[in-house]
């Protein structure tokens, strides 16, 4: 029998039924440019986007839709700040500012948690984890920027000292998604600022509130223009950021479609592009796996943030000998999930989807999958009442290659498929368009090493899923994009390498340190050829092709 769910809501007479936010706690509904909140270029003609609480479908705020001209203003402010000295601060000074930002976020964690929960529908526990992750990201980058890694200085060509420098890029444009508004902003902002760049950031028009609140909280900590926030729509604000000639790099976390649009727009100015896109994480369960451990992990990793997670454990590939046992255990785990409004208390584990459009999209995937013969052992559809709630769903009898196994549903939906041997498991795990993350479940150390190396994903977990740390990189292959968030690799992504080579041979001395014997032959070899600043023969270009 299919497990059913009801939405837990705050009782109308309970204190928890009070609004998550006092209106005074909302950030200014304006753009943040040059260190201050400001109106759009033409406020009287500016459209505004309603920001909706997805648990209640009520309007929280109305945020202005910025224009291309607003992006131009923000880029000018960011470029001025870059020239004004932010990039020239010594690492210690930038580190102290990033630590101060982390401290300010921690100090205001409560309001940020409630703001994120109201804007996205996240359970309080999820929103709290996001804010804690934001603090940790800034703290890690504050330390990492003081300990850069690079090639050692040395003589790699005789008589010449090479020094490799890491420099800021300049102005970086950032586009962040609606599923983790504050945390994804931190994943971008912390390394970008740590590397000495300045930023113009466009948050999702659906979830801009914590980004604006962040700007409000840290405005006095950063020089004017170092951080700028322009709200608005992707085809306007995002497109202008991607094509702007004075933006050195565009970094986006979002959908594959958005990533392709940004990359196309960026091509005109040959700017760098950093893309963290979608995922469809396979969970490969071998015949010797611990079924209870798999099911317990999937309860969290498959349904965290209502499944609106690019690394979610959403596609289970289980050896046929374990399939029945795993499905039974997984159904038991998922049936215990508490679905509800974040106001209903700390027990809520799964909230609503972020918007009506996304709610309809996920329902469409479920309807087509069930119509094609899949069977829901839990959930299977929307839940009654206000809010964009979909029941936590486990689908079985899913045909190989079905739409719901290939495309990113981005909701509380986990599919279960079976395989017969390891070769088939690896082949099917790698057959999709995405390559962000995967997990492998086995008690064999040999299998874990051998098969993890063959899974085509940027992160492979062994006997766990969706465990992250600031010290290790996050990013994918194939349709999941390129570039790395978190870790020292992010600092590398948001900086450029410069090689400076110093000729150390004194004038009037040859490469072997011998001073010529006579004025007549100084600077010449016995055949009369010039030896000043001599370069080894094998390093001279012999073609006439301009260097790339």
Q: Would you call 407 a catalytic residue per the annotation? A: no
Q: Would you call 314 a catalytic residue per the annotation? A: no
SS3 182: helix
* Catalytic pick among 116, 205, 243, 276: 276
Radius of gyration of the chain (CA): 27
Which residue, 380, 398, 377, 387, is CA-closest to 355? 387
DSSP assignment string, 127-174: HHHHHHHHHHHHHHHHHHTTS---PPPEEEETTEEEEEEEEE-SEEEE
- Spatial neighbors of 460 by CB under 8 A, at least 6 apart, are 437, 438, 439, 440, 452
Pairwise CA distance, residues 20 & 22, whole Å: 7
Q: What angle do CA 19, 23, 27 make, to 5 degrees?
A: 120
DSSP assignment string, 303-371: TGGGG--TT-EEEEEEETTTHHHHHHHHHHHHHTPPBB-GGG-TT--B---S-HHHHHHHHHHHHHHHH
Residue 57 is given by DSSP the state T
Pairwise CA distance, residues 214 & 185, whole Å: 9
* Catalytic pick among 116, 205, 243, 310: 310
- Spatial neighbors of 16 by CB under 8 A, at least 6 apart, are 10, 343, 344, 345
- Catalytic positions, please? 276, 310
């Amino acid at each position: 029998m299919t497990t059913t769910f009801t939405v837990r809501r705050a009782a109308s007479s309970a204190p928890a039924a009070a609004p998550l936010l006092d209106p005074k706690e909302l950030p200014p509904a304006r753009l943040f440019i040059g260190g201050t909140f400001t109106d759009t270029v033409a406020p009287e003609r500016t459209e505004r986007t309603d920001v909706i609480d997805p648990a209640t479908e009520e309007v929280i705020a109305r945020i202005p839709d910025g224009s291309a001209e607003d992006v131009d203003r923000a880029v000018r402010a960011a470029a001025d700040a870059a020239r004004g000295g932010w990039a020239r601060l010594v690492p210690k000074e930038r580190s102290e500012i990033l630590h101060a930002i982390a401290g300010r976020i921690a100090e205001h964690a409560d309001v940020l948690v409630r703001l994120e929960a109201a804007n996205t529908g996240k359970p309080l526990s999820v929103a709290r984890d996001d804010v804690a992750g934001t603090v940790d990201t800034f703290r890690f980058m504050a330390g990492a920027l003081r300990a850069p890694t690079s090639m050692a200085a040395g003589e790699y060509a005789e008589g010449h000292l090479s020094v490799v420098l890491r420099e800021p890029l300049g102005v970086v444009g950032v586009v962040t998604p609606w599923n983790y508004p504050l945390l994804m902003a931190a994943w971008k902002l912390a390394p970008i600022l740590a590397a000495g760049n300045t930023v113009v950031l466009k948050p999702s028009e659906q979830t801009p509130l914590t980004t604006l609140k962040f700007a409000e909280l840290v405005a006095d900590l950063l020089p004017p223009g170092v951080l700028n926030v322009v709200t608005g729509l992707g085809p306007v604000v995002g497109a202008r950021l991607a094509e702007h000639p004075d933006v050195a790099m565009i970094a986006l976390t979002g959908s594959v479609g958005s990533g392709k649009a940004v990359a196309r727009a960026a091509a005109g100015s040959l700017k760098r592009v950093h893309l963290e896109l979608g995922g469809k994480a396979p969970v490969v369960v071998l015949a010797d796996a611990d079924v209870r451990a798999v099911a317990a992990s999937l309860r969290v990793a498959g349904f965290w943030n209502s499944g609106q997670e690019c690394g979610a454990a959403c596609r289970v590939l289980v050896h046929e000998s374990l399939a029945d046992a795993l499905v039974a255990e997984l159904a038991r785990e998922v049936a215990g999930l508490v679905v509800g409004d974040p106001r209903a208390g700390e027990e809520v584990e799964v909230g609503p989807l972020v918007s009506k459009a996304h709610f309809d999209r996920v329902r469409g995937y479920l309807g087509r999958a069930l119509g094609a013969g899949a069977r829901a052992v839990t959930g299977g559809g929307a839940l009654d009442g206000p809010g964009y709630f979909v029941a936590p769903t486990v689908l079985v009898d899913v045909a190989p290659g079905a739409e719901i196994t290939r495309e990113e549903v981005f909701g509380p939906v986990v599919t279960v498929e079976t395989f017969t041997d390891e070769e088939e498991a690896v082949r099917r795990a790698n057959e999709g368009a995405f390559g962000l993350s995967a997990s492998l479940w086995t008690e064999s150390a040999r299998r874990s090493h051998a098969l993890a190396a063959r899974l085509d994903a940027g992160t492979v977990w062994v006997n766990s899923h969706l465990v992250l740390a600031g010290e290790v990189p996050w990013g994918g292959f194939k349709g999941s994009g390129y570039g790395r968030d978190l870790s020292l690799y992010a600092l590398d992504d948001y900086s450029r390498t410069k090689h400076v080579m110093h000729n150390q041979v004194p004038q009037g001395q040859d490469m072997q340190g011998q001073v010529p014997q006579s004025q007549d032959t100084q600077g010449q070899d016995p055949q009369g050829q010039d030896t000043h600043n001599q370069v080894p023969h094998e390093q001279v270009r012999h073609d006439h092709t301009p260097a790339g």
